[in-house]
Amino acid sequence: MQIARETLLRSYRAMRTIRMFEERLHVEFATGEIPGFVHLYCGEEASAVGVCANLTDNDTIASTHRGHGHCIAKGVEVAGMMAEIYGRSTGVCRGKGGSMHIADLACGMLGANGIVGGGPPLICGAALSHKTLRDGGVAVAFYGDGASNEGTTLESLNLASVWQLPAVFVVEDNGYGEATGASFACAGTQKARAAGFGMPYIECDGSDYFAVHEAAGEAIAHARAGKGPIMLHVHLQRWYGHFEGDAMTYRAPGEVAEAKRDHDCLKLFRERVTQAGLFEDSVLDEVDAAVTDEIEAAVLQAKDDPLPQSADLLADVYVRY
């Protein structure tokens, strides 16, 4: 599958933005200035970007508590996200949502969700709207292997199949539901679960942007053609704990180091495109530098922005939504 050079460069920038955004949050959260919990997406960037590179502005997605990557991949503005995480009035949700509840309906981002398995039902509603309006849109739910056990997820798979909705269910399988290994908690396979609801199934390596892009393209084309829902199972690894502060005592010695060494999607992407002669390292270095500046500016601005005023909160909800 040939991917346009512009798409590749845009995808690299999105993955690099997610990586730098998350790594900066890892540092900033330790200062105590960021309220609430933070769940980082480092190591999983190719999944969000590979899927969203196949979507249009008309398509919709729903995310998880680990949603920063999905937001950035779908086009949510970085400065507004950073301000939201800092709880500032300039945030995309006016500082009311925080890290786990970023949403931007203008981008088709229905929201990150602190409820495990909270996204799939939203996507059934969005997919039903696309189908009813006949606007050609597709709805995508990102959720983890832990959320695949939730009743809301299973009910959504059933409903999407019964109603033949243009929905794609993306299982981002990092091997752990919080601190519990998938082998201890998930009976059967994701493929068998998809088959149980009569929907097709595709799986891919989440460290390989090109594999995700191709698999997601096939899945999204299936849904967009009116053939009903489909499951995309992405195997990946997260670099940090379930949440910031997680000691990760449940992970094997050297597991994270191996993931960073052998399964870094950005490193693998760069190697592939430079070896193929598609880009010089200097071009990608320029992207890295521009993203570094963007993240730095977003952090400085967020720290300087005002906190929301209680009298304005309700008015903001009505104005924005």
Residue 96 lies in a domain: yes
Instruction: Using the predicted structure, report yes or no on whether residue 316 has a pLDDT greater than 70.
Output: no
Please indicate, yes or no, whether the overall pTM of this predicted structure exceeds 0.85: yes
Q: Give how many domains the chain has, as a whole number.
A: 1
Instruction: Using the predicted structure, report yes or no on whether residue 312 has a pLDDT greater than 70.
Output: no
| pLDDT cut 70: percent of the chain above it | 96
Residue 302 lies in a domain: no
Q: How far apart are CA 234 and CA 125, in angstroms?
A: 23
Residue 308 lies in a domain: no
Q: Single out the residue of 263, 272, 189, 213 nearest to residue 51, CA to CA.
A: 213
Instruction: Using the predicted structure, report yes or no on whether residue 74 has a pLDDT greater than 80.
Output: yes
What's residue 178's pLDDT? 86
Residue 222 lies in a domain: yes
Q: Give me 80's structure tokens.
A: 């507004």
Q: In the block, which residue shows the tokens 């995808």?
A: 11
C-alpha 138: how far from its chain's center?
A: 16
pLDDT digits (tens, 9 = 90+) for 139-160: 999 999 999 999 999 999 999 9
Residue 303 lies in a domain: no
pLDDT digits (tens, 9 = 90+) for 198-212: 999 999 999 999 999
Q: In the block, which residue shows the tokens 């693998």?
A: 268
Q: How far apart are CA 56 and CA 155, in angstroms?
A: 27
Domain around 185? 5-297
Residue 310 lies in a domain: no
